[in-house]
Amino acid sequence: MASFSFNTAAELFPAAIRKKKRAGFAYRRFGTAAEAVRFAIEELPADSLNGAYLQVDEARFDQSGIRTLYESQDFPLPRRPRKPEPEPASDKADNEAA
């Protein structure tokens, strides 16, 4: 991990969400790998993170690798709690009817 630079530009390729009509988040480029890692962990829906990968120079990191970078002592940005996943609309309607 010592050779990894969080200041290098990075590209994030989220997985498509097959259950939804919209693709969710699309490809995104970041000025630093640290910003990309934080976005992936804190902002991406869980189903987009599963199957996503981060490209930094010639290195690729899958979901597990992204999480390892985020949890690293060397991660330079403040960590925030992950935003809660919104409930699917059909579940809310079912719960209200019961």
- Encode the chain (98 residues) as per-residue pLDDT tens digits: 447 899 999 999 987 666 655 555 688 999 999 999 999 999 888 888 888 999 999 899 999 999 999 999 999 998 887 666 666 665 555 555 55
Cβ atoms 71, 48 nearer than 8 A: no
The residue to which tokens 């930094």 are assigned: 56
Count the Cβ atoms, other than its own, within 10 Å of residue 36: 25
- For the entire predicted model, the pTM comes to 0.73
Count the Cβ atoms, other than its own, within 10 Å of residue 46: 10
